Amino acid sequence: MQSTLLQNFIGGRSVAAHGEGRMDLIDPVTEQVYGQAPISDQSDIDAAYASAAAAFPLWRDTTPAQRQLALFRIADAMAARAEEFADLESKDTGKPRANLVADEIDQSVDQLRFFAGAARSLEGRAAGEYMAGHTSYVRREPIGVIGQVTPWNYPLNMAVWKIAPALAAGNTVVLKPAESTPLTTLLLAEIVAEHTPAGTLNVVLGDRSTGAALVAHKTPQMVAITGSVRAGMAVAESAAADVKRVHLELGGKAPAIVFPDASIAKAAEGIVTGAFFNAGQDCTAATRVIVHASVHDALVKALVERVRTHARTGAPHEEGVFFGPLSSAAQLAQVQGFVDRLPAHAVIETGGRRQGDVGYFFEPTVVSGMRQDDEAVQNEIFGPVLTVQTFEDDDEALAFANDVPYALAASVWTTDHARSLRFSRDLDFGCVWINTHIPFVSDMPHGGFKHSGYGKDLSQYGFDDYTRIKHVMSALD
């Protein structure tokens, strides 16, 4: 881990990649290179899958109690090394260091502990005699070897979201982290190897070509990705050639719908947190406000005031920083491009440009006067930009909210209980929050519809997605 050139983790140990390509790891705060990662080639992918395939019978045949104990020990080891994980995550991403343990590392520990409990739920159903002289039952089994790809916005969280349910169910894994943020995933792999058979979790580093090879490989029976819609579509197309099971958690364009009866102060507080946490680099970010015209001006004023007092961006160890830089020069250019292309009717209420000359920092930005067909309303910006548009009645609010390609998350801000129930029913999103935005718990599912993908992370539903169902029928004589 301390070497300038990182290594893959295959078969329970760090190994040099065969691929000769190299990628610079760039600190998004300083724009300086702090290390290199290999671009793994086909031979590296082959080795990782061979290791996972060899480990599968050993891990599959452990009892649920043994897998539970292993995951509890992994969680305890992560908790014991929380500060180390936080240091590495902050280095890779530039996230504020002060709250990183509480915001992300502790969540990962809790998710491991949740799935440790789920490991003992790998059970089928007793059926009965549906045909004379025969009895049936249903087994729930692990799928086998799983290929996984994780993103750069929450490197450790997303790795745990993928790895924990897969291992709890008795599968083995080959995972490729995002090319720019591999450090915490490699540390996690070292810990997992201490408590599982060699090859249960394998990590290969690389770029998109490595990810494509991982997905196209003949060994995995399932592939799972958290990433962009474009990447998810490519994964689904590749996996279709072998009819692999596919699990996709993709982009989002979450609306925050604010009604006249809502508390403007509470809505502004919750929306600013939901919009600018992690620099808006979150598929569930509250990226577009849809507010009743009668309270538009009051909400915009409250949003701007809240941004200026509570949404400061800066380096990881600066005091009072709420979010850090964008992940890369490319991401900075993408966000700036959306702002530069705003239509003439848009009003930049605050922000709108890069902050400083060094680091990929972008000012928290609020844009009012938006219309439903505007690019910044329809497409995922994935940065600290919040758009605001108005509606006149409930039907229009619902139509605006649902009229995007994404369907991951939404929030409704109202004190009318009946209205909140109607909107939770009619909003076409995988998660609907009422008078809050962005909190997660390990016990509840996360996943979307439409271009946001399919399959669930977290919860018992996430565990079930890494299992298969088998019917067994036996003659009684």
CA distance 52 to 244: 17
CA distance 173 to 160: 12
Look at phi and psi of residue 320 and say left if phi exceeds 0, alpha if psi is from -120 to 50, else beta.
Answer: left
CA distance 326 to 26: 12
Pick the closest to residue 279 from 125, 456, 94 (CA basis): 94
CA distance 249 to 301: 34
Beta strands in 351-466 (DSSP E): 365-368, 385-391, 406-407, 409-413, 431-434, 449-450, 453-454
Q: Which residues contact 308 (CB under 8 A, 6 or more apart)?
A: 350
Cβ atoms of 174 and 213 within 8 Å: the answer is: no
Phi, psi of 242 (to 5 degrees): -115, 10
CA distance 156 to 392: 42
CA distance 356 to 377: 27
CA distance 257 to 21: 47
Active site residue 123: no
Beta strands in 177-235 (DSSP E): 201-203, 222-226
Helices (H), 81-126: 82-93, 100, 106-118
Cβ atoms of 33 and 328 within 8 Å: the answer is: no
Check 89, 104, 179, 249 and give the catalytic one.
Answer: 249
CB atoms within 10 A of CB 393: 10
Q: Residue type for 169, please?
A: A
CA distance 147 to 197: 18
Beta strands in 243-299 (DSSP E): 245-249, 255-258, 288-292
Q: Which residues contact 229 (CB under 8 A, 6 or more apart)?
A: 250, 251, 380, 405, 406, 451, 452
Taking CA atoms, 361 is separated from 77, 121, 333, in Å, by 33, 45, 11
Q: Which residues contact 381 (CB under 8 A, 6 or more apart)?
A: 280, 287, 334, 335, 338
Residues with a catalytic annotation lie at 249
